[in-house]
Structures are given as structure tokens and as C-alpha cells.
């Protein structure tokens, strides 16, 4: 095992070696490993009993079983009882490291999925998706499988498209893809495609003309990491054409440049519409070439109204983020009231309702009367949603967008920042759309 330990440590792994099952269990309690390698010839405990004890203590741990070729039947029993894999002795170092790397990825994915099922509490991101519902468990499991693929470190890594209504948590899922993948130590950079100024920021500018000195673009700044294209359906047709080259060929051109540059980024794009050519909506604003290339790996986040089991854990998280400052807890009656709401603004709206309730609770427990759901409905973001209040028949998509913007602005008394938050937009994007539709208070 000395050679095995040296091989693994050269690859950056921490390795603890022990001689007996009792010592292994003692070290296990201290180290909390991702992978355990156990020999079939443990001197003080039946190897299957040791396997059972390890998996009872932490079922997320991946156990690799070592056995002579003559003990193939015992190895088969170990696999049936939950071992990740088994290897014959003597060990081939290349085979061992390959199996252990796969086992470590499975272990990390299992821990991340359990973290999401618990509501994202602990040492992960505060805005991580919550996967208490079956739909979100399945989605997060799929996302973690994509993230754990070692090929995502390659330069020609296929893009990921995340779709869903405004406020469902597309950006949070994109961060999980980055954090749990082989590019986690490199930059995570996002760009809002709805911002007309972002095109120069994304591609960069060659040293020419009025720009003077060259400017590094976000594609170059994200080199080796992940580039998140938010609201990609809002990109202009000309911008989308340039994105096709980036996705298809892994190349891009700075503004004013005659030669392309090679890109090395994991592209993740988000869209508010489902990836479906048979339905109208924002996704149909995408060029066909870009739509097909982005849809290589598709993750669709269902609206909050379709996953009510996530509402309670999300509410608890939002209360927890305010603990010590506003409210200490939320009652089951308040949770029930939240579950009965349809949440057209999704997780974004739920956060605002809970945080507002925490303010009204004044440090006490949040009760149903603190939630002010009726006032949110009156503002146009309640059970029927903003869209239901519009006479959609006979309206173009631009008409609908203009009326939504006006409704949000009127509800906020023309507070642009509040209207932008209500619609899930950045303030700059809201101001751009106000100018685009030439909206005025007299409208």
C-alpha cells in the first residue's frame, strides 16, 4: 500500500493508512473521507461487516474493495452491499487512480445533493437551489451529473442552457454547475445579455479608433472558468450571430479585430422560456443556430407553484438569513399560508414576502398576519399574476412587454429600482426598456 499511497498523494490527495478495521473506523470518524479503500483481508473484522459499518455511518462515502482474483465471489457480495467498485490485487496504479477519481466525483455529488435536499444550509452558497421536492431533486441530480463530468475541463466543452420563469433560481443553479465542476478554481463571470452595453464588455475591444487602448473582454477574463450568459434571449440578432461562432467554433473576435481569438470557457446560458420550438415566447427570439447549440445540455427549472415542497425549506432559509436582526422563526401556519400562494414571482417573490414579514414581526416569530400576501396580490404579483391582468388577445409580444413594464412602474409609483426587482430585472435593464418603449409617467 506504500506505493499506492505515494501515487495518490502525488495527485494531491490526502491519504490516511491504517492496518486494522478498528483503526480504520477510528480514522473514519476523524477524517470524514470521500472514498475508503478496504482490503478483503482485514485481520480483526469480517470485510463485509466493515463495509456495512462504514456505509451505516455515512452512506455517501464510496468504498472501493480490494480482493485477490480467487475471492471474486466475496467482491461480488461487497458490490451488492453498496461498494462503489472492486479491484484485483496486485494493483495497477493507472486503474486504481481512475476508479478513485470516479468514486470521489460520485461522493461529492451525493453530498451536494443531500445539501440541496436539506434546503442548502451549511457551508455552501446562501442562494443555492433547494431540492426538497421530487422535481428539484431530479433536476439537481442531473445538474450534478453534468458538473462532475471530467470532460467539462476540455476547451470544447458543450454549453448548458438553463430555462425557467423569472425568479426561479437559474443563476443559482449556474453557480452550482461551476462550483461542482473541474473549473471550480477558475473565474465565474456573468454578463446580462439584456444590457445593450454588455456586448463590448463580453468580446472586448481591439486597440483602435475612439477606444484607444485595447480592452480585455469578459470571455478572456473568464478563461479556464465559466461564463454565464444571463437572459440570452434578449441579446440582439447581431450579438446572437457572434455567439453562434463562440459556441460552435470556440472562437470570438474583439470589436475592431480582424483575427479571431480562441476561447476556453464553460458557457452556461439562461432563458426565461422553455426550450420548445412548438410554443411562443422568449426562446423563439433566439436564432435557430444558437438555440440548437445551446440546448446540448438542457436544465429546466419548474416554477415554484409546481414544487410546493420547496416552499417551507426556502422560507426557513430566508428567515435564517435574517436571524438575529429581524425574526427568529416562522410558524407552521405561516408556512401553510405560503404553500397556498401561487408565486408568479417564484423564489424571488417568496424571499421578498418572507423578508418583509420578518420586518413586521419585529424580532418575534413570523405569523400568517405578517406575510402581507394580499398587498403583494394588489400590487399585481399575487395569485393570478401580472400577466393574467392583461388583455393578451390581439396583443403583440412587444405590446405585452410594454404593458408589464407600465404595470410594474405604476405599482411601484415609478420607483425604477423597485419595479426592476418586481420584474426580476437589473436596474440598468429596466432603464433601458423604459427608454426603448419611451415610457413616461403620463402613460
Max CA separation in the chain (angstroms): 86
Residue from 323, 312, 336 nearest 364 by CA: 323
Find all residues with CB under 8 Å of 301, minimum gap 6, and list them.
129, 136, 139, 162, 163, 164, 168, 169, 170, 173
CA distances in angstroms from 196 to 32, 123, 241, 435, listed in the order given: 49, 36, 15, 12
Tell me the domain boundaries of the chain: 2-113, 134-302, 305-386, 390-436
Return mean pLDDT, the chain. Answer: 78
- φ and ψ of 264, to 5 deg: -135, 75
- Asked whether the domain spanning 390-436 has the same topology as the one spanning 305-386, the reply is no
Q: Report the SS3 class of residue 82.
A: coil
pTM, 2 dp? 0.60
Query: Could you name the CATH architecture of 2-113?
Result: 3-Layer(aba) Sandwich (3.40)
DSSP state of 215: B
Report how far residue 148's alpha carbon sits from residue 181's, in angstroms, rounded to the nearest whole number: 5
**Is 390-436 CATH 1.10.3720.10?**
no
The set of cell numbers assigned to 245 is 461562432
Question: What nine digits make up the cell of 272?
Answer: 426565461
Q: Give me the helices (H) in 14-92, please.
A: 21-31, 47-57, 72-80
What percentage of the chain exceeds 90 in pLDDT?
16
Q: Which fold has domain 305-386?
A: Helicase, Ruva Protein; domain 3 (1.10.8)
Chain centroid offset of residue 105 CA: 17
Using an 8 Å Cβ cutoff, are 351 and 343 in contact? Answer: no
Q: How far apart are CA 298 and CA 162, in angstroms?
A: 6
- Cross-strand partners of 226: 188, 266
412 touches 378 (CB < 8 A):
no
How many Å apart are CA 417 and CA 179, to the nearest integer?
30
Residue 374: the pLDDT is 57
Secondary-structure class of domain 134-302 per CATH: alpha beta
Per-residue model confidence (pLDDT) at position 112: 60
Say what the pLDDT of residue 270 is.
Answer: 93
Whether the Cβ atoms of residue 182 and residue 219 lie closer than 8 Å to each other: no
Within 13 Å of residue 256, how many CA atoms lie on the same side as its CB?
15
CA separation for the pair 170, 229 (Å, rounded) = 11
- Sign of the alpha-carbon torsion through 106, 264, 199, 281: negative
Which residues of the chain, if any, have pLDDT below 50? 120-123, 209-212, 275-284, 324, 375-376, 378-393
Nearest to 270 by CA among 253, 304, 295: 295
Quick one: pLDDT at residue 143? 93
If you search the block for the grid coordinates 394588489, which residue do you land on? 378
Amino acid at each position: 500500500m506504500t506505493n499506492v499511497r505515494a501515487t495518490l498523494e502525488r495527485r494531491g490527495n490526502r491519504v490516511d493508512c491504517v492496518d486494522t478495521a478498528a483503526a480504520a473506523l477510528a480514522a473514519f470518524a476523524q477524517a470524514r473521507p470521500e472514498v475508503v479503500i478496504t482490503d478483503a483481508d482485514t485481520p480483526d473484522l469480517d470485510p463485509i461487516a466493515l463495509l456495512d459499518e462504514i456505509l451505516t455511518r455515512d452512506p455517501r462515502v464510496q468504498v472501493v474493495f480490494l480482493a485477490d482474483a480467487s475471492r471474486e465471489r466475496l467482491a461480488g457480495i461487497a458490490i451488492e452491499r453498496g461498494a462503489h467498485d472492486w479491484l484485483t490485487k496486485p494493483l495497477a496504479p493507472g486503474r486504481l487512480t481512475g476508479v478513485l477519481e470516479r468514486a470521489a466525483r460520485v461522493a461529492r455529488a451525493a453530498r451536494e445533493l443531500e445539501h440541496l435536499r436539506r434546503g442548502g444550509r451549511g457551508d455552501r452558497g446562501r442562494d443555492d437551489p433547494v431540492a426538497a421536492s421530487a422535481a428539484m431533486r431530479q433536476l439537481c441530480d442531473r445538474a450534478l451529473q453534468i458538473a462532475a463530468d471530467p470532460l467539462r475541463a476540455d476547451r470544447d466543452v458543450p454549453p448548458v442552457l438553463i430555462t425557467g420563469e423569472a425568479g426561479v433560481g437559474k443563476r443559482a443553479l449556474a453557480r452550482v454547475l461551476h462550483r461542482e465542476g473541474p473549473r471550480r478554481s477558475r473565474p465565474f463571470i456573468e454578463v446580462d445579455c439584456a444590457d445593450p452595453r454588455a456586448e463590448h464588455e463580453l468580446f472586448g475591444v481591439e486597440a483602435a479608433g475612439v477606444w484607444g487602448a485595447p480592452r480585455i473582454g469578459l470571455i478572456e477574463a473568464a478563461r479556464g472558468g465559466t461564463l454565464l450568459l444571463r437572459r440570452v434571449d434578449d441579446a440582439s440578432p447581431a450579438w446572437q450571430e457572434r455567439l453562434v461562432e463562440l459556441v460552435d467554433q470556440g472562437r470570438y473576435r474583439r470589436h475592431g479585430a480582424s483575427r479571431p481569438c480562441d476561447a476556453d470557457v464553460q458557457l452556461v446560458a439562461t432563458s426565461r422560456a422553455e426550450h420548445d420550438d412548438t410554443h411562443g415566447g422568449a426562446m423563439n427570439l433566439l436564432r435557430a443556430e444558437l438555440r440548437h447549440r445551446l440546448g446540448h445540455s438542457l436544465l429546466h427549472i419548474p416554477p415554484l407553484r409546481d414544487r410546493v415542497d420547496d416552499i417551507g425549506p426556502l422560507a426557513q432559509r430566508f428567515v435564517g438569513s435574517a436571524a438575529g436582526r429581524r425574526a427568529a422563526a416562522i410558524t407552521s401556519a405561516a408556512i401553510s399560508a405560503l404553500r397556498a400562494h401561487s408565486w408568479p414571482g417564484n423564489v424571488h417573490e417568496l424571499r421578498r414576502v418572507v423578508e418583509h414579514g420578518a420586518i413586521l414581526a419585529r424580532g418575534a416569530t413570523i405569523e400568517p398576519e405578517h406575510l402581507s400576501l394580499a398587498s403583494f396580490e394588489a400590487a399585481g404579483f399575487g395569485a393570478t399574476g401580472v400577466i393574467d391582468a392583461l388583455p393578451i388577445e390581439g396583443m403583440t409580444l412587444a405590446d405585452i412587454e410594454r404593458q408589464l413594464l407600465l404595470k410594474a412602474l405604476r405599482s411601484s409609483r415609478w420607483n425604477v429600482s423597485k419595479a426592476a426587482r418586481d420584474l426580476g430585472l437589473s436596474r440598468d435593464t429596466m432603464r433601458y426598456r423604459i427608454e426603448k418603449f419611451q415610457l413616461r409617467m403620463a402613460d
